[in-house]
Structure 1
Amino acid sequence: MPTAQQVTDILSPEFAADPYPAYRVMRDSAPLLWHEATRSYIVSRYEDVERVFKDDRFTTDNYDWQLEPVHGRTILQLSGREHAVRRALVAPAFRGSDLREKFLPLIERNSRELIDAFRRTGSADLVTDYATRFPVNVIADMLGLDKADHPRFHRWYTSVIAFLGNLSQDPEVAAAGERTRVEFAEYMLPVVRQRREHPGDDLLSTLCAAEIDGVSMSDEDIKAFCSLLLAAGGETTDKAIAGIFANLLLHPEQLAAVREDRGLVPAAFAETLRYTPPVHMIMRQTATEVTLSGGTVPAGATVTCLIGAANRDGSRYRDPDRFDVFRDDLTTTTAFSAAADHLAFALGRHFCVGALLAKAEVETGVNQLLDAMPDLRLAEGFDPVEKGVFTRGPQSLPVRFTPVTD
């Protein structure tokens, strides 16, 4: 098995600056790579990452140490019937009539309010003025929380994501993540108890009342799920929206096509999830010894799945390093379901429960932003740069446009 010394290290500044060349080397010559610093086996080929997500021999036991210290015990750590029941309790809010009737109007209003702040100015930073605020505001509204607490929510979810991606084991990042768990519990548990006594029409009240086969969610269960929802729903949708616009602005002919035919917005989202996924790495743990490309992984080992590498595997996608909303080897109609043929939402029983919520947010946001900014272009001289290793996306996206007059 090749060693980490033969490949650009995932903790190096060179990798952080541009991981894609390293991904190519790994796929080609080191598809199973032992990484000493993270004590994990790194897999990078599409077929292997897909298998890790779908094969029951790969568990989510890694979240016991990777997530529980900041969230508490969440649905991600569960398996079997316990997982199925918990997922059935929370899933209805994220699909079908609940999503369409209760939450889509809320999504549309939150997007419009943020755009109203800059639609007449002719300039905006699509990351700081919109993308980092929109999904967190939506989740706060869905849960019936006070949006005035947005700065705290943003700080908390940023801290949680940093903890999750703390591959170098920075003690300050670890301590900040553990403080966040305490602070969020102190904030959230009294709200949960109040909502049990005085339920409303919000998602938090729904979670408090939900019951299947005599199983309901405890206050701690609900708090942990809300923490997970803020972090996973905030960080990923934030980076997805920024990523779509960065990709389209760098490919003006595709931006023009999407503007002209809004039916292409889901394709632009799906292709962004493939080409520049918000989450580049997801970990799993082996229950038994498993053989993958390049060798065998022992039982009880941590496996780091490189989604960013697998989604650019030339054995799965034609011309994989090209952004193309028209590609015919990525199925848009299944891109937001467990039948997706990209890996950005994971696959299998732990497929992202919020995928359709993310789709609704992104499609609403992209359409409203395109309506408000008819000649959208990057600020002169600005080149979008992705940042991050575990999660990755543009940190800034300054744009110019001619305001639409009423």
Structure 2
Amino acid sequence: MDAAAPGDLIPVQSSATARPAPLPGLLSQTREQDPYELYRRLREDHPLVYDPSIGAWLLSRYADVAAALRDPRLVDGRRPGDRACGRHRGAVPQAMQEVVERTSYVLAHRIARREQADLVEEFCRWLPTGALGGRGRRAPAVGPAGRCVAQLSVREMALASFFANVLDHPDRIAALRSVPGLIGRAWQESLRRDPPVLVVVRRASIEVRVSGGTIPAGATVACLIGAAGRDPDRFREPDLFDLTREDAGQLTYGPGDCPAVELAALEAEHGLSALFGAMPRLRWADGFRPTATGLLTRSPRSLLVRPCG
């Protein structure tokens, strides 16, 4: 391997005579920096690279990440919806669905007459808790999907990014108000473009070939969800939030029927519908624009709105 400065990424050995300049490791950035330029350079020049800052091999291309997340040779750290969730398959119970709808309504109407409110503090952080019957933010791993449902922080961040994407353009607001059936598509598009979890970790039980080389047996593998979701080889205009996108493909949740996956989508649907219903003129507070932060997880830390318009 080439020599690299401390914290630099270390590319796999190659026979090429010309090699791209080394890149800084994931954790060398600040949480305020936008990671997507680094992700672009990784996809193009370093599809498999070792990052000493986290002690893991990085995968950044959609095809590699999507395959790794379902590869039985890459074990541990399963997402809600993966095969490991099979023991708690099934639909979200009707009683829990009603709690989500009722909690959304109550939270929205609490802030509807305010001059200004923060949707992260006053909505996103309370709606997932409400789905667990108000047990609190440190709720035990109980319910139809066990620990998957109890992963509150992921759903909180996903909701914050979802609201940020929807409310950031008047055409999106108008489209979703007039056609509520588009909310599910908007939710999937937000998970693709702005996933709450940027990095999902796996461990290679044996050597695994990927597009950039071979992952050694026993190695830790960091699947860069954030990079894969904006891969231009998989998505048309990947940086664009597109309600009509036909090439959807989010990686935050797995493809299985774990109730936690449905629950998150229900929170997005009922949450946005409740906000729209309680606040016909909902818009950003004067001078505010949402800004996401974070290196391993990422979402806006505040969403300041004027509920009364």
Letter in 2 for 1:368: A
- Tell me what 2:292 maps to: 386
**Count of residue pairs brought into register by the alignment:** 292
- Tell me what 1:4 maps to: 9
Q: What is the alpha-carbon distance in structure 2 between the residues aligned to residue 265 and residue 125 of structure 1? A: 21
> How big is the shift at 1:282?
0.4
- Tell me what 1:131 maps to: 124
**Structure 2: where are the runs of 5+ without partners?**
3-7, 11-21
SS of the aligned residue for 1:34 comes to strand
- Tell me what 2:16 maps to: none
Q: What is the alpha-carbon distance in structure 1 between the residues aligned to residue 44 and residue 201 of structure 2? A: 21
- Is the aligned partner of 1:264 residue 2:182? yes
Pairing partner for 1:309 from 227, 250, 257: 227
What does residue range 323-342 of structure 1 map to in structure 2 within 5 Å? 323-330=241-248, 341-342=249-250
8 Å contact 1:281–1:306 — kept in the other structure? yes
> How big is the shift at 1:353?
4.9
Cα gap change, 1:365 to 1:103, in 2 (>3 Å):
same
> How big is the shift at 1:14?
4.5
- Tell me what 2:64 maps to: 48
- Tell me what 1:198 maps to: none
> How big is the shift at 1:293?
1.6
- Tell me what 2:202 maps to: 284
Letter in 1 for 2:250: H
Q: Give per-residue Cα distances to partners, 1:203-230, cap 9 Å, x unaligned.
A: 65x79xxxxxxxxxxxxxxxxx45x532
Letter in 2 for 1:284: R
Q: What is the alpha-carbon distance in structure 2 between the residues aligned to residue 238 and residue 367 of structure 1? A: 17
Structure-1-length-normalised TM-score: 0.66
> How big is the shift at 1:298?
0.8
Q: What is the alpha-carbon distance in structure 2 between the residues aligned to residue 315 and residue 380 of structure 1? A: 38
8 Å contact 1:241–1:366 — kept in the other structure? no
Q: What is the alpha-carbon distance in structure 2 between the residues aligned to residue 15 and residue 243 of structure 1? A: 16
My pick for the range that moved more, 245-254 or 312-321, is 245-254
8 Å contact 1:345–1:352 — kept in the other structure? no
8 Å contact 1:34–1:40 — kept in the other structure? yes
Q: What is the alpha-carbon distance in structure 2 between the residues aligned to residue 49 and residue 346 of structure 1? A: 12
Bigger fraction of residues in helix: 1
- Tell me what 1:164 maps to: none
8 Å contact 1:237–1:362 — kept in the other structure? no
Q: What is the alpha-carbon distance in structure 1 between the residues aligned to residue 186 and residue 43 of structure 2? A: 25
Pairing partner for 2:73 from 57, 64, 69: 57
> How big is the shift at 1:16?
4.7
**Structure 1: where are the runs of 5+ without partners?**
64-74, 142-146, 157-183, 193-202, 208-224, 331-340
Q: What is the alpha-carbon distance in structure 1 between the residues aligned to residue 258 and residue 74 of structure 2? A: 17
> How big is the shift at 1:113?
1.8
SS of the aligned residue for 1:47 comes to helix
SS of the aligned residue for 1:299 comes to coil
8 Å contact 2:30–2:295 — kept in the other structure? no
Cα gap change, 1:24 to 1:353, in 2 (>3 Å):
farther
- Is the aligned partner of 1:29 residue 2:45? yes
Letter in 2 for 1:391: T
8 Å contact 1:8–1:14 — kept in the other structure? no
> How big is the shift at 1:329?
1.4
8 Å contact 1:387–1:394 — kept in the other structure? yes
8 Å contact 1:239–1:394 — kept in the other structure? yes
What does residue range 103-252 of structure 1 map to in structure 2 within 5 Å? 103-139=96-132, 141=133, 147=134, 150=136, 153=137, 156=138, 204=143, 225-226=146-147, 229-230=149-150, 232=151, 234-252=152-170
Cα gap change, 1:352 to 1:276, in 2 (>3 Å):
farther
Cα gap change, 1:15 to 1:399, in 2 (>3 Å):
closer
- Is the aligned partner of 1:376 residue 2:296? no
Q: What is the alpha-carbon distance in structure 1 between the residues aligned to residue 272 and residue 202 of structure 2? A: 33
- Is the aligned partner of 1:367 residue 2:273? yes
